[in-house]
């Protein structure tokens, strides 16, 4: 069932689903496997899922739990292209549509698209 309300709890479970799809994807998986390995139960992956839950909760719910620098790790990633971002967004949109009703899903879509555009601008791609 889709949630109408975005909560910390459903963000965390949405992250689990999103990254399990990412790990199966031909275009984006290798970027994550290079940094975090291919086992989502590992400490590295669980740390990433917690961090990204903080990121989205801070972005959308105005929490202050995320204090990182989101652009930084992407700057040093070899081989990132527009198609990589396009595919990432496609998977993310599919996931948010599964989890949330339209109004809430649209909030994630608008924010992720604008952050991805910003990353691409910084990366010059």
Q: Nearer Cβ to ligand HEM, position 1 or 88?
A: 88
Q: Say whether residue 12 binds ligand HEM (CB under 6 A).
A: no
Q: Nearer Cβ to ligand HEM, position 31 or 100?
A: 31
Tell me how far, at minimum, the Cβ of 51 lies from ligand HEM, in Å: 5
Q: Say whether residue 73 binds ligand HEM (CB under 6 A).
A: yes
Binding mask 30-69 for ligand HEM (x = CB under 6 A): -xx--x------------x--xx--x------------xx
Cα separations (Å) of 45 from 28, 82, 121? 15, 25, 27
Nearest to 79 by CA among 30, 112, 114: 30
Nearest to 7 by CA among 43, 57, 49, 45: 57
Q: Say whether residue 85 binds ligand HEM (CB under 6 A).
A: yes
Q: Nearer Cβ to ligand HEM, position 1 or 124?
A: 124
Cα–Cα–Cα angle for 56, 58, 60, nearest 5°?
65
Please give the Cα distance from 75 to 61 (Å, whole number): 26
Size of the site for ligand HEM (CB under 6 A): 21
Q: Say whether residue 112 binds ligand HEM (CB under 6 A).
A: yes
DSSP 50-76: HHHHHHHHHHHS------S-TTHHHHT
Q: Which residue is nearest to ligand HEM (CB)?
A: 68
């Amino acid at each position: 069932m889709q949630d109408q309300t975005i909560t910390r709890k459903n963000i965390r479970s949405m992250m689990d689903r999103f990254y399990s799809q990412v790990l199966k994807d031909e275009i984006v998986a290798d970027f994550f496997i290079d940094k975090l390995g291919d086992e989502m139960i590992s400490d590295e992956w669980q740390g990433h899922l917690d961090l990204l839950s903080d990121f989205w909760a801070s972005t959308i719910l105005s929490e202050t739990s995320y204090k990182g620098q989101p652009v930084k790790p992407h700057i040093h990633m070899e081989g990132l292209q527009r198609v990589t971002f396009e595919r990432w967004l496609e998977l993310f949109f599919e996931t948010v549509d599964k989890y949330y009703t339209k109004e809430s899903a649209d909030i994630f879509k608008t924010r992720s698209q604008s952050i991805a555009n910003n990353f691409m601008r910084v990366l010059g791609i």
